[in-house]
Structure 1
């Protein structure tokens, strides 16, 4: 991310130690790892017996045949029969290993995606002020796919080749200590440049993942704003912007691929060059009678196993380096801590016969974290009685919606306290607090589901009858019934199949179904025509009975009926009173009324 909220304690950027952050996700599957490990050891042992069998075949079989004996033929037959048995064991063990590690990879990836998503949805709006959703989606998809490849394939291959490498080295020393010593010294000289160059590959892997995330962020932003893009005929401009982002990601990926290709070439040339040199020495030892042909054959096969294992390990290291970058990005996301947290010992709201809640806002000061230089609210002092209807009025940016966000504890004020029914909202569990409040936002959110489930979002355990009753109260029942499939009608992504007024009524029905003590209406009737506004206004008046209601509104009908009108300007309360009092006062409200309600 370009902006990080993390106080991360993850290892340094690009460090392979970052992969240790996956351990909490791997630990629950220790039994599956043990089964895969047993299969892995069996397969490696089976592979390591093959060169010994070839040595026996050459020294005890072919040489006997050359001497004219029949015993050598029997020995060759037995050797090949044993090799077939080894192949059967190897096949079964390899299949078992592949199944278990693939299962672990899929399971761990699913667990990581669930954990990251569950963590992200608990973040406060402050997190989303500076983080693009496309970036988060890239981490949930592309980065977890890389981790899946490492867990389900690379770890298994790394362990397999590590076992083959160690086992092969041991057998090399048993076969010929002198040649093995030479090969070890040369391999050490080879490994050093490979490790140093691998660091460059690791950094490029991280850069590549960041560029892919940037492209995803651009795509997500544009796809969510297609009507605006098309209305301004910016299709080609936005296509070009996305293309530039994709090309940037491509060029970064190509730098990574070139570096990895060069790393692979260096590894293969140096490793196999060292082995060829040692085998040349071995061939001379056979010609001089210092080593049998079978022993040299065995040494060659073990050397091939060691070289192949090293080559595979260098490939796995490349994948692991990419996964280290992906893991670092995911751990970065997981380490972000929301400043809005549940209290350790949450209080309960007092039980009341009536539904309305008292609200006290005590000397509240607040500025948004992304705009610390300008105060959104200053010295806000409010006392609202249970069942009162309060209208918040003011020009755009006056702080009306900000007050709603503080009531919902999307943010905490830098100074002052907010109490509901006498309890500081910081002492309430977030579910308790937000369960007490119903909100109809200005920008209505409609989910990709049918009308029934969209309204039921207000209370998931509500019956169909309760949902329909809420829709009737919100004047939504009639238009829903006219939809092709009624309440089962799919409303489209973000409610594209509905008009603005219809979406608003779905949101009002959702809030009514929740049956909260405190109702927040943010321009709840702003998108309605005159007839729908009249119907919804009547429904809201019914829904507001016995509840405390705060309304952000400019419509005269709503404001006139409020028990009290609070006028905000530049984050401060400048006037308080009812409609008649404020008109008579001739201040800010009277001026707004003259502009918006044509009363002047």
Structure 2
């Protein structure tokens, strides 16, 4: 139950709905019991078993309430029958019974009406919290977790948790109260008969608990398996060209079907255990009712210690316990499943985010002098990427980072934007360590163009205006012109309002990259980070994009991570990296003259 206690804050905004649900569940339990009790006087009239009472009873206190109620009822029936006839008495009884059943069902509906708002409110708020946490967590988190598993938690597990909350409310209010009110009434009718019911309840509970063993463990495994096949879907759709290009459909089909087969086996095992609870509890209930019929029959027919009408109503009350008992057994299973789901939801919500703004973080909206990277060390888990790395980038400079794959170039971009934090050393902007800066403020100073053009299934306008949501159409068109992209956008059917498809797949690689550049241009940050922005392009597209980049980099500080050295010859400073260290730095001509590592890279690319 600890998991549910930790999720309880999600209930607080909807507590009024919870209170209303509890109120109507209490009323439902009361009217459910009264609906059977009201049959007793009806049957007494039918079988002419009503005790004749012509004297109005006097109320003598709560301890004699039962006797007062019986005497008043017999007086009322006697008086009404003598005055208006037995037909009138029966009519009144039928109207009372119908009214009680109507109130019972109305309370049941209203209880469900209010809990619907509670359930759906919890569902919405938990999904919102999960999504918010998902996009706040650092990139490092997703190098360990499957994206499909996170999607499974946001969709399936959250849904399971909110369903289980409904089960808890039924478990602690509606069904137990129905049993309690029914048992109290049964005791007032016959203490001896009720002893059998008290024996039945703990035995039934023990049997149900045996059936429910290991359900939580299997539910966790089923939910994890769901995350695996959702990940397979996400990865397959993301790499569909490779799947088809390598004729790998059969392989991925096999991977997916193996996962769904494991899910199938687990789901059957869980479902069969759940399905066993209801018939098992009902069978045990019928066993007890059979014993009650035998023992109660003796009391009515042989011992004459119980009248027939009361016995029939008592049997109705005994059967009335079976439905809530079955519901409690089902709800207890739902809670086990929900508990497993809650653990998976809380694992995300409780995940500590190491990359956040300090409480007293500095707000910064301008870049004045320099970026100073001082003696930084960094490693991804156990792999050291940067060792004692230092670099200063002056305002207005274009600094290019070059080197072989794995030399740590892109890591610099990830550290500057605080996608990751350095293990040792400091990175400072205008003398303020970036860890002391407000995170949004820091990223507001920077524009980022990556090797992979990350675009979303939306219009060109929506994709470009991410950095400036209130941008006008004219501003967007101007950014497109600077990015050398307007020449193809203006020919599209709806111009900037054209939807570009999933990941921009309606556009070519060069077109997508120019839209990424336009997005950075519109944001108009003082610092621009270009992470191999042209490496994935063909020669013709590269020329268009290179012109766009040169337009964008005018009058601003740029850090260019380059694979193609032809694109960075005009840089103010070229830094050559190897295994996380700087081996050479200077202008293009100076480095060529040194005839070292840079010259070797240029020569290799020239041959290529």
Calculate the TM-score normalised by the size of structure 2: 0.91
Displacement of 1:156 after TM fit?
A: 4.0
Displacement of 1:328 after TM fit?
A: 1.6
Aligned to 1:18: 3
Structure-2 separation of matches of 1:212 and 1:274: 42
Aligned to 1:277: 291
Aligned to 1:234: 248
Task: After superposition, give the CA deviation of every residue in 1:237-260 in whole Å (9 maximum; x if it has no partner).
Answer: 211211111111000111112222
Calculate the TM-score normalised by the size of structure 1: 0.92
Displacement of 1:542 after TM fit?
A: 3.0
Structure-2 separation of matches of 1:597 and 1:309: 81
Displacement of 1:396 after TM fit?
A: 0.6
SS in 2 for 1:306: helix
SS in 2 for 1:453: helix
Structure-2 separation of matches of 1:588 and 1:34: 74
Aligned to 1:489: 498
Gaps of 5+ in 1: 1-15
Contact 1:63 1:72 in 2 (8 A): no
SS in 2 for 1:562: coil
Which of 507, 516, 519 is equivalent to 2:528?
Answer: 519
User: Is the counterpart of residue 115 in structure 1 residue 129 in structure 2?
Assistant: yes
Contact 2:483 2:518 in 1 (8 A): yes
Structure-1 separation of matches of 2:378 and 2:177: 60
SS in 1 for 2:47: helix
Displacement of 1:194 after TM fit?
A: 1.9
Structure-2 separation of matches of 1:294 and 1:201: 44
User: Is the counterpart of residue 420 in structure 1 residue 435 in structure 2?
Assistant: no
Which of 587, 590, 603 is equivalent to 1:581?
Answer: 590
SS in 1 for 2:380: coil
SS in 2 for 1:412: coil
Work out the number of aligned pairs and report it: 578
User: Is the counterpart of residue 51 in structure 1 residue 60 in structure 2?
Assistant: no
SS in 2 for 1:550: strand
Contact 2:41 2:50 in 1 (8 A): no
Task: After superposition, give the CA deviation of every residue in 1:34-60 in whole Å (9 maximum; x if it has no partner).
Answer: 222222222222111111111111224
User: Is the counterpart of residue 368 in structure 1 residue 380 in structure 2?
Assistant: yes
Structure of higher RCO (CA pairs closer than 8 Å, 6+ residues apart):
1
Map 1:108-257 → 2, pairs under 5 A: 108-152=122-166, 155-156=169-170, 159-257=173-271
Q: Given the superposition, is the C-alpha separation of residues 291 and 72 from structure 1 closer, same or farther in structure 2, using an over 3 Å criterion?
A: farther
Displacement of 1:523 after TM fit?
A: 1.6
Aligned to 1:267: 281
SS in 2 for 1:326: helix
Contact 1:103 1:152 in 2 (8 A): no
Structure-2 separation of matches of 1:527 and 1:182: 79
Structure-1 separation of matches of 2:161 and 2:293: 39
SS in 1 for 2:425: strand
Structure-2 separation of matches of 1:72 and 1:331: 65
Displacement of 1:211 after TM fit?
A: 1.5
Task: Give the aligned CA root-mean-square deviation in angstroms.
Answer: 2.1
SS in 2 for 1:560: coil
> Which deviates further from its counterpart, 519-528 or 328-337?
519-528
Contact 2:22 2:174 in 1 (8 A): no
Gaps of 5+ in 2: 53-77
Q: Given the superposition, is the C-alpha separation of residues 155 and 43 from structure 1 closer, same or farther in structure 2, using an over 3 Å criterion?
A: same
Displacement of 1:210 after TM fit?
A: 1.7
Structure-1 separation of matches of 2:214 and 2:607: 68
Which of 473, 477, 483 is equivalent to 2:482?
Answer: 473
Aligned to 2:355: 340
Contact 1:555 1:597 in 2 (8 A): no
Displacement of 1:269 after TM fit?
A: 2.5
User: Is the counterpart of residue 359 in structure 1 residue 371 in structure 2?
Assistant: yes
Displacement of 1:279 after TM fit?
A: 3.5
Displacement of 1:357 after TM fit?
A: 5.2
Displacement of 1:157 after TM fit?
A: 6.8
Displacement of 1:529 after TM fit?
A: 4.1
Which of 560, 565, 570 is equivalent to 2:569?
Answer: 560
Contact 1:519 1:547 in 2 (8 A): yes
Map 1:419-438 → 2, pairs under 5 A: 419-438=428-447
Structure-2 separation of matches of 1:282 and 1:65: 20
Aligned to 1:322: 337
Contact 2:277 2:330 in 1 (8 A): no
Structure-2 separation of matches of 1:205 and 1:495: 38
Task: After superposition, give the CA deviation of every residue in 1:76-118 in whole Å (9 maximum; x if it has no partner).
Answer: 3221110111122223222222211112211110111111111
Contact 1:61 1:73 in 2 (8 A): no
SS in 2 for 1:290: coil
Q: Given the superposition, is the C-alpha separation of residues 152 and 192 from structure 1 closer, same or farther in structure 2, using an over 3 Å criterion?
A: closer
Contact 1:356 1:546 in 2 (8 A): no
SS in 2 for 1:317: helix
Task: After superposition, give the CA deviation of every residue in 1:352-411 in whole Å (9 maximum; x if it has no partner).
Answer: 5xx565111110000013xx1x20111101111111110100001110001100001111
Contact 1:29 1:104 in 2 (8 A): yes
Structure-2 separation of matches of 1:90 and 1:197: 32
Structure-2 separation of matches of 1:17 and 1:531: 61
Structure-2 separation of matches of 1:58 and 1:17: 49
> Which deviates further from its counterpart, 274-283 or 224-233?
274-283
Displacement of 1:154 after TM fit?
A: 6.3
